[in-house]
């Protein structure tokens, strides 16, 4: 009985050993992978690049005062449309003491001269009427009186300008009225009522009362890498997409490519400006972030294959062509010459492939 159990245990151990060996042998044998088949197609391939930048008005005008003082009233706010000559703000003049005193003295001197000329003329007139004075003297004193009155009026007007910033002779063109110099949209009003402002001069740029721009004349300003700048040219068309506007696609034309690079984060880039074609209903705003898509190269209706089926080695390109499928797939490695690629599809310029040639694709799992 014991001998029987001993033989049975030996048989069981041998059976387990043989089963394990067979299992390992079967799994150690390589499986034949099956591949999906891909056929070449005729495609139009475009190589594009995307420039990042923003939308800006072509001309953004800073409106500055013609006289120093304090803002007494602001008549516009950001977003308002203004015409050339519209009043934007009013300024209250704070005159300098020296200028005010000098102007007041000129008025007093002119008044004294005018009164003296008036007395002289009155005396000459009385004598002339009695035939005791010549007509020449009468006309000379009359002209002197007119000159004295004119000088007095000019001195008074100068005092008004110094004290109030307003000319009596040209109240509509007063320097205290800040007017828009262009027609457009107010982008910004960086001052408030009560703010002190100064006029532009040799030593100071002056205070900006408002920024105005024509929002129908816009440009895209972006950057392009130095490796692609030579593929761009002035007059080339681009398409602008604005992140803030869903499905936006505005045509534009490259107007200017900077002749000198700027270094940003260790990379040399060139500034590119493109003129947008947009109407007043486009709702574009200054400063919008935007991307410009530019077609650098394109090939129309060319034989092409997916990039995934091409194997690159030693500056050469290869594809695997199906030569047999029974009992298993057999592929032949063939050299091809590739052309333009968009990253997904590549042009086949030459090689033993056609529209009917089955190529090895990805493994079917």
Name residues whose C-beta falls within 8 Å of residue 300's C-beta, 6 or more positions apart in sequence: 44
Query: What is the DSSP secondary-structure string of 212-237?
Result: EE-TTSEEEEEEEETTTGGG--TT-E
Predicted pLDDT at 314: 84
Cβ contact 311:65 at 8 Å: no
In order of 233, 260, 286, the CA distances from 53 in angstroms are 18, 18, 12
Give the model's confidence band at 134: pLDDT under 50 very low, under 70 low, under 90 confident, else very high: confident
Cβ contact 325:364 at 8 Å: no
Residue with the bigger pLDDT between 25 and 125: it is: 125
Virtual torsion, Cα 227, 231, 237, 243, nearest 10 deg: -10
pLDDT tens, position by position, 84-119: 989 999 888 776 666 767 877 888 888 888 888 899
Phi-psi group of 98: left, alpha or beta (phi > 0 → left; psi -120 to 50 → alpha; rest → beta):
alpha
Quick one: average pLDDT of 179-198? 90
Give the model's confidence band at 306: pLDDT under 50 very low, under 70 low, under 90 confident, else very high: very high
> How many whole angstroms separate alpha carbon 182 and alpha carbon 64?
12
pLDDT tens, position by position, 231-254: 898 999 999 999 888 888 889 999
Would you call 15 exposed, middle or buried from its count of C-beta atoms within 10 A (0-12, 13-18, 19+)? exposed
pLDDT tens, position by position, 267-291: 889 999 999 876 666 678 888 999 9
Residue with the bigger pLDDT between 264 and 335: it is: 335
Predicted pLDDT at 92: 81
Give the model's confidence band at 1: pLDDT under 50 very low, under 70 low, under 90 confident, else very high: low
Residue 333 phi/psi, 5-degree rounding, is -80, 120
Quick one: average pLDDT of 76-86? 91
Name residues whose C-beta falls within 8 Å of residue 243's C-beta, 6 or more positions apart in sequence: 288, 289, 290, 291
Give the model's confidence band at 8: pLDDT under 50 very low, under 70 low, under 90 confident, else very high: low
Residue with the bigger pLDDT between 170 and 263: it is: 263
Cβ contact 207:64 at 8 Å: yes
> How many whole angstroms separate alpha carbon 349 and alpha carbon 358?
17
Cβ contact 185:80 at 8 Å: yes
pLDDT tens, position by position, 25-46: 555 545 567 889 999 999 999 8
C-alpha radius of gyration, the chain, whole number: 44
């Amino acid at each position: 009985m014991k001998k029987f159990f001993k033989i049975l245990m030996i048989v069981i151990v041998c059976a387990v050993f043989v089963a394990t060996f067979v299992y390992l042998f079967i799994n150690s044998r390589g499986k034949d992978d099956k591949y999906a088949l891909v056929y070449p197609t005729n495609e139009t391939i475009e190589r594009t690049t995307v420039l990042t930048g923003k939308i800006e008005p072509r001309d953004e005008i800073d409106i500055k005062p013609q006289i120093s003082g304090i803002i007494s009233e602001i008549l516009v706010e950001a977003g308002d449309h203004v015409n050339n000559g519209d009043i934007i703000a009013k300024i209250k003049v704070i005159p300098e003491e020296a200028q005010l005193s000098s102007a007041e003295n000129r008025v007093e001197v002119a008044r004294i001269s005018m009164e003296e000329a008036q007395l002289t003329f009155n005396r000459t007139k009385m004598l002339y009427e009695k035939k005791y004075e010549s007509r020449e003297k009468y006309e000379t004193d009359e002209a002197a009186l007119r000159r004295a009155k004119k000088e007095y009026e000019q001195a008074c007007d100068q005092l008004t300008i110094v004290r109030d910033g307003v000319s009596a002779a040209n109240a509509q063109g007063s320097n205290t009225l800040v007017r828009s110099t262009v027609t457009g949209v107010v982008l910004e009003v960086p001052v408030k009522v009560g703010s002190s402002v100064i006029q532009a001069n040799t030593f100071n740029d002056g205070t900006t009362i408002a920024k105005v721009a024509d929002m129908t004349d816009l440009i895209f300003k972006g950057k392009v890498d130095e490796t692609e700048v030579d593929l761009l040219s002035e007059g080339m068309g681009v398409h602008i997409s604005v992140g803030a506007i869903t499905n936006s696609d505005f045509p534009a034309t490259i107007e200017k490519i900077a002749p000198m690079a700027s270094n940003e984060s260790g990379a040399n880039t060139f500034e590119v400006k493109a003129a947008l074609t947009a109407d007043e209903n486009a709702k574009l705003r200054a400063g919008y972030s935007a991307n410009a898509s530019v077609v650098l190269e394109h090939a129309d209706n060319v034989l092409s294959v997916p990039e995934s089926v091409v194997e690159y080695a030693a500056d050469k390109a290869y594809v695997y062509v199906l030569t047999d499928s029974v009992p298993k797939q057999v592929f032949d490695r063939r050299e091809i010459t590739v052309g333009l690629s968009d990253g997904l599809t590549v042009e086949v310029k030459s090689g033993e492939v056609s529209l009917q040639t089955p190529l090895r694709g990805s493994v079917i799992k």
